[in-house]
Structures are given as structure tokens and as C-alpha cells.
């Protein structure tokens, strides 16, 4: 994430400027406003702007004339009630905008969240920076043997070295060839005046999915929390999870009460099916329930046992 | 739009508070922040919060590290280019939130704009204020004889008086009965302790569509301009147009360059069909074109003549 | 829901026509296609069209070239897996379209679901039918004393009679006045040629929120299930719940496997917070946990006890 | 676009099956249902399912009980009126679903259209086919000198040959390395049992943006026409335009009346700004107007002259 001196100066400039406003303002978020929070080897997340705070959620839920807040405890209770009962619309009243630098294969997962506004750097119009993602050694993992969609053991020794050699070598060559095909001034030491150069919109197709792109991305708090609960989940690919985790920290600064409710009711919670609820109720009444009696598939049963605690799960097995 | 003293005090309070922020700030919009702008007889529009300004459009279009602005003239040229070519996504990077008080039949037209966030006052949870819309005399119009969807001549004398008598009488009675059915303390002089009172969610069904409701409504600049171009249009019902016009003035304060581009390319512009373009081209080459030769329906032809100027239209008829 | 003879004939006509198609077709849904399913006193829901079936969910999840289905058991397992893990996008691949007749106050709750397509009968363009909702006696309930948003005891005797008298009397008068103000042929026995008549878009504001309107409403299966889980919930107002229940039955006919998964994982399931999960885990390990030790608010604690079974809840209290 | 024998058999199977349905059915679209329409070197578009036809637009606009159609001429007039006046919601009542195979850099432009449902082939879960896009010689163009976002002259001779050599060589090497890193059975002649193989979600980052992916993509007619008017535009990149053109032909088969209205009012039409309208009006009245008098920027003026016809434009210059 090496900024050019010009970029660093632009950011410093923006951070120095202070305005006076009547709008709700969150000092803890202002503190990091515009600053690049590093993610992966060359990426970042920057908070560019925001609208509203915890009290904006309360204000909209109450459709009030002023800030709508009462005692801190009442406001917090209302926000937790809204989160618990999935009354989601008041959380849409807060908005945040990020500038993100991220590998294209991460961008392709990210863009699936449709309720957001996006402006991406155009590789038809401009030339892409020579930056690509190379996993850290501890991220070079084999395909999981249990989960068709995840990672298993870490690669080591010669195998790891060979993978890095391939990833790096192919990316470097692709960028060299990108520059050669573009044949533009300022990109290569030796522009060949005899060649026309290939159109940017075509030349970029040679670049790997590990190439970094950037975008402005803006969404409301409700949709942001949805994004985060899916992308900070252990089942999400590590690379997008790294972004989600950096962003969760910006939510904590921005709307601390909503953030805590989100942790309690979404990130830390779990949904039980009708069958799972029945198992829990019966076990709480002292019955023992086997997988067969539960009416659940083997996979669901194992998921439930894991959720309710490994000990409880194995205790159950002893009991049956 | 008579605010209660409590409401007025809440608003005055909010307006007195000033914060320091690094965010883009628009003094001309701050000036009217939180203030109710009157619309119709009891309605209002209040700007509650906003995010971004003209330079945020430029910044997103350029995916820049700082404010992204250059010379004023370049920025303005870029914004006008984006508006002209319907590159709409950079305009989504600005967001605004209103508090609106409006008759229910207007709210029902308004809510059709789906790309927005809404929190409405709940008539299941709370009791509605005793306020309903009564048209001003100059708005009491007959059904249009030309347009199945519009108004024609103004009603006068006894007919107008009778309409107002009905509208007012029925609304007053409906609210009296609403209070009687609710049978709640503080609403009627004489709560009857022998009666249970009807649930709020049921009692409200007796109220007329002219009853005022309120909501918080938040959207981005692109979708706001869409809303305004449809609802400030002469074909829109007068009552929602009154809201659109009050809001257009808030856009002028907020993003003056985008506003001017919107006036030039959207409000003041027009779309020509392939056939209409052909007519214009032929007439500019000196040909005269009749309705029959145009390949257009009679209605389209008249619309085109009106657009190109009544004189031009009649001149054309002389020429053929 | 009395159809005019013309309407009944149009529906019978549509039902008689059979076409040959290569598209996935669901005989159990075809059976009721176009037929009005009665809801409330004058309302209905009609399935007008649909796209896809259970196998379309499977096909999209597998991005397959043909129908994408394998053994019935595999397909069913996949659908249940998708529902359980909230992989919602494959359910968006099925689409359904309804024609609905409903009171305006119900329409106002319904329209809050934004991810849908809607065309409503226009009261600017056309005259509304003389139909309004009058609750059945067993629906005339007092405001709940526990839930600020719900109903409590049923009204009886003179109080119930008086409420019905008001609701009916005010609606009849409003429609009489609507007709008088419109002063159109065919609506009133005695059009007065001396009067111009009020524009339709204005006259309708006098009608009560209990007036019936109609619309075409189209959405995908994922968003339909969201709608149903919120609107078939016991906390939803009875009147919209009546529609949701009629529609749930159309889902059962249309996509029986997805329907069963929806019952098991959504309608019959429950979400536990981090604190609630902790309580369950501790109790399953044999600990007793009090409300105080749980870290939950009083309200949350009671909700959890109710969920885990009244007996379990009271047993717990004995234990502490 | 070489289908495997299994894929071809699945498609043939689906095409052979005929069902009886009460739903509106469009024989001309049924004819090509499920068939891959070739696009670029390995891509295709297949219509998988559809809901509604031209009469469904009419039916929703009229909120009718039956098909809602009257005389063909009335229906066509209504559809053209709706298109002309941008009454877009009735067009949302038709839905279509495609299976598309397309290069990733095209998919990244396509996905920006958010009002659609998508299920993409997962490169976390599955291994990607060894297919990448290689432009035909007549598509190998230089960067445009006029348009920063477009193509100019065609490359020739040695330069063209070198570009193709690079694009092909880098892609082949990337796929070879992809297989080597995956080290899975069935992909390479020689799986190395001593190596673990890299997780699929990581290995894919080495592939170029020219790699083909596939998805199911479903949208309504209104949003489809929006997509097509932007992506079939001469300013769109050739590769996505090729898809748009194949899809326009499916629209012609599906909803011929809406299609013709789309051609007349959208594809073949043009939007004039307030200033441009003023220029046209003045010229039609016989005035001559210079660029300076028009109040337009040089670029807008040139766009207008081009639109109104090159001769007219130059004629104007003579006149001043």
C-alpha cells in the first residue's frame, strides 16, 4: 500500500481541513477519516464520508422532530430491540462511503452485494497500476478435504515456494506484456514509435485476477451489516474477510451501540430450525435425543452439536 | 404546519448545535438545515442530513485520493458531461435525508419510488394527529376533458363551496369518530371508562386519504433527481408537485453545479423518437413534412409540434 | 369478492386456454391459475403467472446446462442446505405474479417491500369501486395492554355495535359524497348537468383507508418468502396476515420442497442471541442460570423462556 | 462454444419436453428456448425461461381481470404510449432468464446492472474450464485518439501478430500453471501425489481476465431494455456489445410490439438539452445560430451537429 507522494499529500490536505456543521458528527470516526487502513499486501480501506450516528437510528424509528434521543439507556434499548426483531429500516438511515483498493477476484465477490453505490477505476479509460496480490506464506493453503469451498492445510517447503514462484512470475510477465502491448509513454522505458499500441480496454484482459483495482463504495448501515455478517464469517474466503474485519472496526467507531447489538444478535447469534429447537427443548426437559430421533440430516445434526458445544454433543452421545 | 412548542424547541435546539467536521460541508444548505419548509396547508419538508457535495460527484468519477477537484471549470464540465451522457453512478455518491409531513394520498404516490429508505410514523403504534388536507380554492378543479389523468377548469361558486363543505365535514366527522372509537385519555374530553376502546391499527382505517402522515425519507442524488423530474413535471398531480418544487430548491442550495446540469439536460430537455428526429432533420434541410409523411400517430405529431413551438407547428401546416 | 359477470367471464376464458410450452410447468399451481382466492370480506389473491419451480433453484445453484436435477433426494438436500445457510440467490431464480384486491391500509404496509414490481389501479385515471373493508365481529379488538402495536380483548355488545355503525356509516357517506363530487354518468342516479364535477384525483381523498384497491404484484421467490415470514408472523396486523396465509398456500403448490425448507428453517425456526446461546449451553451442561446471570434484559429473558417452553422457563425459576 | 456431448444431450433433452400450460406462451421464443446462441469465440447466450408477453404489459397497465387486451391496434398504441412517456412499471411485469458464457472482463461490466438476479459458476467450489477469449484480427484495435474510452485503428502485420502471441501465450501458461498448482486428478496428465495442491479459491487468481465464466442471469423487461440501450450503444466495448446484440434478437422474438417501441423511442431516439432544443427551434424559424450563440460547449455543439446531420451542420457553418 505505498501511496505516491502526491496521494499522501492529497490525503493530508483533506485531513487538515475542518468545517463547521449542524449535522450529527462522530469524533471517533473523524479521527481516522480519509486515512488508509492497510489490508492484505497492497490494499486498503478508507472512510471517505458518513451520514448519521446511533441517534439517527433512534430518530428515524421515532420519526421525531429533533435528535429524538432520550436517556442513553432508552436509546440503547430501542436499538437493541430493533436489531433483535429485525426491524431493519431505521438502520438504513445511516450511510457510509469507503475508498477501497482490492484484488479483482475479491472485487468480484464484493460486487454481488447489490444494494450499494459503486464507482470503480476504469481500465478502459486509464492504465492500471502495476500491483497484484501475492498471498502471505501462512495463507498458501491446500483445498479443504471437508469443505468443497474452503482451505485446508498450509502448503510448505518446495510446494509453497513453487506456487509463489508461479503466481509472481506469471503476474510480472502479464504486467510486462500489458505495458508492451499498450506501448504508451511513461509506462515503459522504451516506447516504440513504430507501433500503434493496443487499446487499453483490450490490453487489460491479459492481466490476472490478482491485479488490484480500486473503487468508491457507499452503502447504508443495514446493508453494511449484512455485508459484514456474510463476509466476516469464517466460511468467507480469507482475502475478503480481511477487508470485512478492517471495516467492522470502522463500524465500532461510528455507531458503538448498533455495533454491540450487531455483535450480540448477529455475529454471535445463531438460527435454530424447527427441528433443532425441538431437540433443545426436549433436552432441556431432560430427555435424551439421538440423531435419528431428531428428524435432522447427519450434517445438520453435527452442525447443531458443534453449536451447542462439543462437550454437550459428546455427552449426548454417551447418553444414547 | 403549526408546530407544537415542544417541536419548535427541539428544532431550535438542533439548529443551535455546531460541530467540527472533516467532511465536505455546504454552508448554503446548512443555513436551512432542520427548518420546516411549508408545503400545502399543513405539510412541510425538512432537510435533516446530507452527505457530499458537487465535488463528491467529481471525486467518485475520478476515483481520486483527495477531493478530486481541479479547476472549477473542469469540474463543472465533468459534471455536465456525466449528466448529458446519463453516467448516473457518480451522482449516487451524494445522499440526503428529509423529514416530510404529507397527506396519505400523496404518500402513496411518493412511495412508488423504491430506491429510497423510509421510516413512517406508525398508526398501529401511535395516534395520528388531527390534521387533514383541504385544497385551496384555486386547486378545486374539474376533471380535465382532454387528459383522463388531470385537472381542467376551476370549480366556482356553490359547487366549490359544496365540495369544501363535504371534504371538511367528512374529515372532521371521521376524526371525531376515530377519537370516540379509540376512547383514549388525552384525545377526547370525555373518555368512557366503561368502554375498552378500539385498537389503533383498526380505528385508523376510518380516516380519509387526506389525513396527514409523516416520514423520514433518504435517497441519493441520482434517485432524487429522477423523483424530481417525474414529480415536478406538469403531468404530476399538483399536490405532490408542491413537494417536488420545495425540494428542488434544496437541491439548488446543496449541489449548484449538478442542479444547473439537471435543469439544462433533464427538466428543460426533451427526448425525440427516431421518427421525430427524422422530421426535424428533413425540416432543417428545407423539406416540409406532413403528419402523414412523418409515420407518427396523431397524438405524437401534436406533441412534437407543441415541443418545437406552436408557431413552427402552424407554419408547417401552412407550408403543406 | 363479488366479481361482475364480465370479470368472471374473462377469468373463465383465460382458464380455458391451454398452450404448449418447453418451460418448466407446475400442474398443481396451474390448477388454481387465475382463480380468485378470497381474503377478508371483499378481497382476493389471484396467481396470474409464474416462472420456474423447485428444479430452477437447483439448476441455478449448479449453473447447469439442462434442468440440473439429479436424484430427488440430492435436489431436496441442496435446497434445504441453501435455505439453512441463507444462500438466497438461487431462490431469486423463480418468479411469481399476483393480482390482489386489498384495503388501502393493507396496501400501505405491503408496499414497504421494495424488491417487487407493482401496477396499481389508478384513482387519478379511473373511478374506484364502491367497496370497503368492514372487520368481522371476532376481529373487533381493543388495543393490547401488553403490546403497543397489537390487539387485545375482543369488543362486545354495544361497544362493538357502535364501532361497526361508525365504520360502516362513515364509509357509506364518504362513497356517497365521492359520487356526488364526481358527478359522473353511470355512478349516480342523478348526474347534475349544471355542475362540472370534481377531478377524480381530488375526489378520492375523501375516501377512507378501508377502501379497496387492486394491483398486480410480482416478485421472486426469495423476496416472497421474506414478505411471508414478516407478514404471516403473529405480530403482523391480522388483515395483512390473512393475505400472507392465502399466499403461503400458493407457495406450497408451486415449490413444495422450498416450501418445506421455509417452514423448517424460517417460519418454525428462531434466532438466538450470543447471550441466549450461552444460557442454553450452560443449562444443557446442567447449570441453572438466572435472568440476572444471563446478561439479558427482562424482556429478552421472558422471550427466551417462552421460546424454550413455558415449563422449562418456570422450572428454571424454581431452580434458582 | 464447443459443448461437451453431455451438455448437448442435456439441452436436447430439455428441448424435447413439452408441457401444457395456461400461461401466456410465445411460440417464436419457444423455438430457440435452451439453444446456445454463439457470441465471441467461446461464449453464448441461452434463453432458459420467460414470463409474460406483450399482452402482460397491457394487462398490468390496465389492472385487468383477464388478458386485458383489446384490439391489436389499441394494445400497440398503449405500449408505445407507455414507452414514449417512460411509464416503465408495466414493462417490469415481464421477466426473462438467460444462461450466459462470457469472459470475466465482460462479466465485470455486466454485473454493474444491479436490478437483476445472478448465479455465477463458483471458482471456489469448482475448477474453471480451460477457455479464454482471443479477439478476432478485426477487433485488435489501437487506443482511439479521440475518445479516451474507445478503440481506433486496427492493428496490422507484425504488431497484430505479436499481440495475439502474447495474449495466447500468457493465457495458455496461466492455465497450465493453474492445473499444476491445483494438482487434481483429471485435469493434468500427471498428478503428483507428493503435493497437496493449492486451494481452488487461490489458484484461480492466476488466471487472466479473458477467462470465460458462466452465469444464470434473470431480469425484467424494463431493466433488460435499460441494459440493452447502454450495452448495444456504439460507445460500449465491442465485446459486451456482441452479447447485447444477440439478446436484442431474443427480445424481438419475445415481445415484438415492445421491441419496436424500444427501437423507435430509445435506440433510435435522442435527448436534446434545453440549449439544443432552443437551437433547433430557432433554426426551424429560419434563424442561423452559431456555436457561440448557442450557449453550448464546443463538444456539445459538435455532438448536436452530428445528430442533426453532418450536412445540416456544415450548411449552418456556411450560413454564419
Other Cβ atoms less than 10 A from the Cβ of A320: the count is 10
Other Cβ atoms less than 10 A from the Cβ of A87: the count is 14
Write out pLDDT tens, residues C51-107.
999 999 999 999 988 877 777 788 999 999 999 999 999 999 999 999 999 999 999
Both C236 and C284 in one domain: the answer is: no
Nearest 5°: phi and psi at B194? -80, -15
Q: C206 and B210: CB-CB below 8 Å?
A: yes
Q: Could you tell me the CATH number of the domain that includes residue B98?
A: 3.30.1360.170
From the candidates D46, D200, D204, D231, which is the catalytic residue? Answer: D231
E strand spans, B93-198: 95-103, 117-120, 141-143, 151-154
Chains with ≥3 Cβ pairs under 8 A against A? B, C, D
Q: A312 and C281: CB-CB below 8 Å?
A: yes
Q: Report the C-alpha gap between C257 and C73 in whole angstroms.
A: 10
If DSSP codes are grouped into helix, strand and coil, which group holds residue B250?
helix
**Residue of D81, D275, D283 with shortest CB distance to B284:** D283
**Residue of B60, B65, B117 with shortest CB distance to A93:** B117
**Residue of D139, D171, D198 with shortest CB distance to A142:** D198
Domain assignment present for D149: yes
Both D44 and D168 in one domain: the answer is: no
Return the DSSP state at B93.
Answer: G
Domain assignment present for B132: no
Domain assignment present for D62: yes
Nearest Cα residue in chain D from B113: D89
Would you place residue C317 in the very low, low, confident or very high pLDDT band (cuts 50, 70, 90)?
very low
- Average pLDDT of chain C to the nearest whole number: 92
Q: Report the C-alpha gap between C211 and B228 in whole angstroms.
A: 29
Chains with ≥3 Cβ pairs under 8 A against D? A, B, C
From the candidates C108, C187, C231, C266, which is the catalytic residue? Answer: C231
Q: Which of B76, B88, B274 to mutate to test the interface with D (most CBs of D within 10 A)?
A: B274
Q: Report the C-alpha gap between C226 and C47 in whole angstroms.
A: 18
Domain assignment present for C129: no
Mean pLDDT confidence for C221-240: 96
pTM: 0.95
Write out pLDDT tens, residues C127-159.
999 999 999 999 999 998 877 778 999 999 999
Q: Report the C-alpha gap between D57 and D220 in whole angstroms.
A: 11
Shortest CA gap A284–chain D (Å)? 38
Both D24 and D120 in one domain: the answer is: yes
Distance of CA A26 to the CA centre of its chain: 22
Pairing of strands A212-220, A95-103: antiparallel
> Which residue, among B270, B260, B216, B227, has the nearest Cα to B112 in the 3D structure?
B227
Nearest Cα residue in chain B from D287: B284
- Rounded to the nearest 10 degrees, the angle between the axes of helix D298-308 and helix D310-319 is 120
Using alpha carbons only, give the angle A223, A224, A228 rounded to the nearest 5 degrees. 120
Q: Report the C-alpha gap between A112 and A95 in whole angstroms.
A: 19
Chains with ≥3 Cβ pairs under 8 A against C? A, B, D
Task: Pull the grid cell for residue B43.
Answer: 405539510
Task: Quote the domain boundaries for residue D170.
Answer: 137-206
Distances (CA, A) of D182 to B17, B28, D120: 61, 60, 21
Q: Report the C-alpha gap between D297 and B299 in whole angstroms.
A: 34
CA atoms within a 13 Å half-sphere pointing along the CA-CB vector of D184: 17
- Within 8 A of D11 by CB-CB distance, chain C residues are 65-66
Residues of chain A with pLDDT under 70: 1, 187-189, 310-320
Both C190 and C119 in one domain: the answer is: no
Q: Which of A312, A315, A316 to mutate to test the interface with C (most CBs of C within 10 A)?
A: A312
Both B36 and B121 in one domain: the answer is: yes
Task: Pull the grid cell for residue A29.
Answer: 470516526
Domain end: C189, C206, C223, which one?
C206
Q: Which of D79, D83, D260, D265 to mutate to test the interface with B (most CBs of B within 10 A)?
A: D265
Q: Report the C-alpha gap between D172 and D179 in whole angstroms.
A: 11
For residue C319, pLDDT beyond 50: no
Q: A65 and B93: CB-CB below 8 Å?
A: no
Q: Which residues contact B198 (CB under 8 A, 6 or more apart)?
A: B181, B182, B183, C140, C141, C142, C143, C155, C163
- Within 8 A of C174 by CB-CB distance, chain B residues are 170, 174, 208
Other Cβ atoms less than 10 A from the Cβ of C88: the count is 16
Q: Report the C-alpha gap between B271 and D229 in whole angstroms.
A: 14
Q: Report the C-alpha gap between B183 and B196 in whole angstroms.
A: 7
Write out pLDDT tens, residues B293-304.
998 998 899 999
Both A200 and A215 in one domain: the answer is: no
Chunk chain D into consecutive blocks of 10 residues (it has 320) and report each block's average pLDDT, rounded to whole numbers: 87 94 97 98 98 96 83 88 94 98 98 96 94 96 84 94 97 97 81 93 97 98 98 95 98 98 95 94 92 91 85 35
Both A193 and A293 in one domain: the answer is: no
Please report, in angstroms and rounded to a whole number, the separation of the first and last CA atoms in chain C: 56
Q: A170 and D174: CB-CB below 8 Å?
A: yes
- Within 8 A of D17 by CB-CB distance, chain C residues are 22
Q: Which of B75, B81, B231, B284 to mutate to test the interface with D (most CBs of D within 10 A)?
A: B284
- Within 8 A of B135 by CB-CB distance, chain C residues are 202
Q: Report the C-alpha gap between A247 and A231 in whole angstroms.
A: 11
Nearest Cα residue in chain C from A271: C271
Rg (CA), chain D: 25
Q: B22 and A24: CB-CB below 8 Å?
A: no
Domain end: B206, B223, B242, which one?
B206
Both C106 and C222 in one domain: the answer is: yes
| Bridge partner list, A211 | A132
Domain assignment present for D187: yes
pLDDT attached to residue C186? 73
**Residue of A80, A274, A315 with shortest CB distance to C268:** A274
CB A54 within 8 A of CB A27: no
Domain assignment present for D73: yes
Domain end: D191, D206, D221, which one?
D206
Both D188 and D245 in one domain: the answer is: no
**Residue of C201, C206, C209 with shortest CB distance to B166:** C206
Q: Report the C-alpha gap between C171 and C132 in whole angstroms.
A: 7
Shortest CA gap C3–chain A (Å)? 38
Q: B237 and C151: CB-CB below 8 Å?
A: no
Dmax over Cα atoms in chain D, in whole Å?
85
- Within 8 A of D285 by CB-CB distance, chain B residues are 309, 311-312, 315
**Residue of C66, C90, C119 with shortest CB distance to D60:** C119
If DSSP codes are grouped into helix, strand and coil, which group holds residue D33?
coil
Q: C152 and B199: CB-CB below 8 Å?
A: yes
Size of the C and D interface in Cβ pairs below 8 Å: 154
Q: Which residues contact D122 (CB under 8 A, 6 or more apart)?
A: A149
pLDDT attached to residue A1? 54
Chunk chain B into consecutive blocks of 10 residues (it has 320) and report each block's average pLDDT, rounded to whole numbers: 87 94 97 98 98 96 83 88 94 98 98 96 94 96 84 94 97 97 80 93 97 98 97 95 98 98 95 94 92 91 85 35
Q: Residue A157, class by beta-carbon neighbours within 10 Å (0-12 exposed, 13-18 middle, 19+ buried)?
A: exposed
If DSSP codes are grouped into helix, strand and coil, which group holds residue B77?
helix
- Within 8 A of B111 by CB-CB distance, chain C residues are 108, 111-112
Both C217 and C117 in one domain: the answer is: yes
CB A50 within 8 A of CB B51: yes
Both C300 and C245 in one domain: the answer is: no
Both C191 and C283 in one domain: the answer is: no
Q: Which residues of C touch A (CB under 8 A)?
A: 77, 80-81, 84, 89, 112, 263-265, 267-277, 280-281, 283-285, 297, 299-300, 307-309, 311-312
CA atoms within a 13 Å half-sphere pointing along the CA-CB vector of B304: 25
Domain assignment present for D199: yes
Return the DSSP state at D132.
Answer: B
Task: Say whether the ipTM exceeds 0.90.
Answer: yes
Distances (CA, A) of D142 to B77, C53, D157: 27, 48, 13
Which active-site residues of A does the annotation give? 231
Mean pLDDT confidence for C278-282: 94
If DSSP codes are grouped into helix, strand and coil, which group holds residue C85?
coil
Which active-site residues of B does the annotation give? 231
pLDDT attached to residue C144? 87
The residue whose grid cell reads 457510509 is A96
pLDDT attached to residue C314? 36
Q: Which of B102, B216, B219, B223 to mutate to test the interface with A (most CBs of A within 10 A)?
A: B216
Q: How many domains does chain B have?
A: 3
Domain assignment present for D172: yes
Q: Report the C-alpha gap between B187 and B146 in whole angstroms.
A: 46
- Within 8 A of B263 by CB-CB distance, chain D residues are 274
Q: Is A316 left (phi over 0), alpha (psi -120 to 50) or beta?
A: alpha
Chains with ≥3 Cβ pairs under 8 A against B? A, C, D
Amino acid at each position: 500500500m505505498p501511496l505516491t507522494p502526491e496521494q499522501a499529500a492529497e490525503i493530508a490536505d483533506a485531513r487538515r481541513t475542518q468545517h463547521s456543521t449542524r449535522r450529527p458528527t462522530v469524533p471517533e470516526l473523524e479521527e481516522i477519516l480519509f486515512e488508509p487502513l492497510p489490508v492484505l499486501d497492497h490494499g486498503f480501506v478508507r472512510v471517505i464520508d458518513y451520514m448519521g450516528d446511533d441517534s439517527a437510528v433512534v430518530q428515524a424509528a421515532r420519526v421525531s422532530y429533533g435528535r429524538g434521543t432520550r436517556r442513553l439507556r432508552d436509546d440503547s434499548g430501542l436499538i437493541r430491540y430493533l436489531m433483535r426483531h429485525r426491524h431493519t429500516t431505521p438502520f438504513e438511515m445511516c450511510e457510509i462511503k469507503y475508498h477501497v483498493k482490492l484484488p479483482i477476484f475479491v472485487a468480484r465477490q464484493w460486487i454481488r452485494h447489490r444494494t450499494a453505490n459503486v464507482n470503480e477505476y476504469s481500465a478502459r479509460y486509464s492504465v492500471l497500476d502495476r500491483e497484484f496480490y501475492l498471498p502471505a506464506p501462512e495463507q498458501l493453503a491446500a483445498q479443504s478435504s471437508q469443505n468443497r469451498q474452503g482451505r485446508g492445510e498450509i502448503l510448505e517447503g518446495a510446494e509453497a515456494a513453487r506456487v509463489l514462484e508461479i503466481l509472481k512470475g506469471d503476474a510480472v510477465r502479464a504486467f510486462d506484456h500489458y505495458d508492451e502491448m499498450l506501448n504508451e509513454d511513461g509506462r515503459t522505458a522504451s516506447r516504440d514509435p513504430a507501433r500503434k499500441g493496443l487499446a487499453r480496454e483490450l490490453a487489460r484482459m491479459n492481466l490476472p485476477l490478482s491485479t488490484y483495482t480500486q473503487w468508491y463504495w457507499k452503502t447504508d448501515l443495514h446493508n453494511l451489516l449484512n455485508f459484514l455478517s456474510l463476509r466476516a464469517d469464517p466460511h468467507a474466503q480469507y482475502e475478503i474477510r480481511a477487508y470485512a474485519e478492517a471495516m467492522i472496526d470502522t463500524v465500532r467507531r461510528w455507531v458503538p451501540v448498533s455495533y454491540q447489538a450487531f455483535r450480540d444478535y448477529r455475529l454471535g447469534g445463531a438460527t435454530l430450525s424447527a427441528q433443532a429447537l425441538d431437540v433443545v427443548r426436549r433436552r432441556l426437559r431432560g430427555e435424551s435425543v439421538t440423531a435419528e430421533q431428531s428428524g435432522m440430516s447427519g450434517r445438520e445434526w453435527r452442525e447443531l452439536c458443534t453449536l451447542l458445544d462439543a462437550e454437550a454433543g459428546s455427552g449426548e452421545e454417551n447418553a444414547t
